Structure 1
Amino acid sequence: MRKWRSAAVTAAWVAVGTAAGALGAWQLAGADSGGGAAHSRPLDEAAVREALARASPSRPPSAAPSPERSPDASPERSTVRFTGGVATAECRPDGTVRLVSWSPADGFHIDDDVERGPAAVARLEAEPGDDDEREDLAYEIRCTAQGPRARVAPTEPED
């Protein structure tokens, strides 16, 4: 009788575990409506706006935000990606840019002499790891009509 009871308890645990696994798989399958793995990559700014437009019934998806900003408007923050990392920058109403934060990509570090602004141009340099032979990557970040943009800084000729 004892063996029968042990087998019944084991079978019950296996059934509960199987049901929990099936329920979890079903929930994951239901959450993935985009055809790929849910949250497999971060959304860029355009994708976030599109998702918000679809979710907001009060604003039609074709309505674009007004490019005009009042002088007392708060700065717009945006993420800028570049080969050596990522930065969060503010485009201020006066047209200047200010780096709020930055983070290096794997295998890089950001040099300490970051020119964060506010200024017409913010600058930072992503340096590869010490054992890496790659060149340092200097970037300029400016505000454009589309928001902050990073580009490789022009190199200065060496004397």
Structure 2
Amino acid sequence: MRKQKIEFEITVYESLTDLSENDRQLMEKAIASRAKAYAPYSGFQVGAAVALINGEVVIGNNQENASYPSGLCAERVAIFQAGAKFPGITIESIAITAASKNHSVNHPVAPCGNCRQSMLEYEVRQTAPIRVLFMGENGEVFKCNAVGDMLPFGFDSSFL
């Protein structure tokens, strides 16, 4: 038997204003998208913005449904829309932000497991990392250099 440690690094920014101009603008688009989320049941609003290598930005926000499993997270709305509108175009980054109507969200909110898996599919397919920026409604912003870092035992087509 052996034990193995798996770790990765993130960059922590004190606030939105500490980001590069491009990353700040991408996060601002995610924030604007978050405000349009359809979250009447949870009050938890999430916005996402995907930056493509061709300069296009595709946004998404969470879409809830009275039949809870039928809803969709902001990250998947944005990344699926990017894949549908711009097939084969490399995704460089995704910015994600979350807020609640019920309490302050002052800590970065990471993508759920389903979203990480969906984003990993795109990262593996394009053979290039997707940077992930995420935050709450204010405060620190975390930057991860690749989706695969956030999902070290990800499942991909190589297993099929």
Choose 1 or 2 for highest CA Rg: 1
TM bracket, shorter-chain basis:
under 0.3
**TM-score (ref. length: structure 1):** 0.27
**TM-score (ref. length: structure 2):** 0.27
Say which structure, 1 or 2, has more relative contact order (CA 8 Å, 6+ apart): 2
